[in-house]
Structure 1
Amino acid sequence: MFDNLQITTCLWFDGQAEAAANYYVSVFKNSTITHIQRYTESGREFHGQEPGTVLVVEYNLNGHRFVNLNGGPQMKHTGATSFMIMCDTQDEIDYYWDKLGDGGDEASQQCGWVSDKFGITWQVTPKALLKMLASEDKEAAGRANLAMMHMKKLDIAGLQKAFDG
């Protein structure tokens, strides 16, 4: 009955929905904006927005559906919700870290977490780290975990060195 259920991430913005969508589509390959809906005069007494301004932007980032909503100043982004980017190489980590961290809150950068200029939090994570942390060698996994805790941007070679002891 519910086999074809799709889940879409909706992000709330205060006037930056289109700029954020355009930015994310430029960062992630195989991504596209699929629809833009604008406010109309209808319901203006509730939404208070100028007719013609962007209400929602629907887009796709590497197969993940998003909707950005210009809902107003009532809601703010927090690091309690983040998006994990699973990277194969250090080059991928460097690329996403640099792109998403540009203009973001540097104080929030820790353990591979980075907040972008729109306040959205991303985890730029090497796939190798997850394998290390899941290792049956609990001492090695612990060393990798401790090394991660001391890093801002994750370094695969540094994590592997700690894992290997």
Structure 2
Amino acid sequence: MAEWVERVDEHDRVLGVVERGEAIERRWLHRVATVVCRDAGGRVLVHRRPDDDSRFPGAYNWLLGGGVEAGEEYGAAAERELAEELGTAAPVRFRFKFLCDGVVSPYWLAVHEAVITGTPSPDPGEVAWWEWVEEEALPGLMARWPFVPDSVEAFARYRELDG
């Protein structure tokens, strides 16, 4: 099934609507929304992607998210992805966005935060394993485990905001 996204320019202005696969193949800029999930104690959710995933199989990530659909705002996409991937609803708060020269394709990456109450019930097609970790443990985990490369760059930028 086609996933329609907005092709955007280097200033995040919409140029048109394209199929996401074509945007990736042609390395056209498009939009991705992500969420940093925290529990009530401030710990961050880290998860592992399924081994049969088409992109970064078995890799770890501290962000949940995906493509922003055509006509959708970043925040709405982040909330939708949270519900789809983690099986929970929560309001998201925008933190920052940046032009990411991604490993697979370049894109605008928006990072949001959400506090998750209750126990998540992730979609096993999206999340193979998950655990709450202290934020201070993330650099060590990123050094030992194979993390999605773009998420490592996003983490460095995230830490700069609070530093």
State the TM bucket, normalised to the shorter chain: under 0.3
Give 1 or 2: higher strand fraction.
2
TM-score, normalised via structure 1 length: 0.23
Relative contact order (C-alpha < 8 Å, sep 6+): which is higher?
2
Give 1 or 2: higher helix fraction.
1
TM-score, normalised via structure 2 length: 0.23
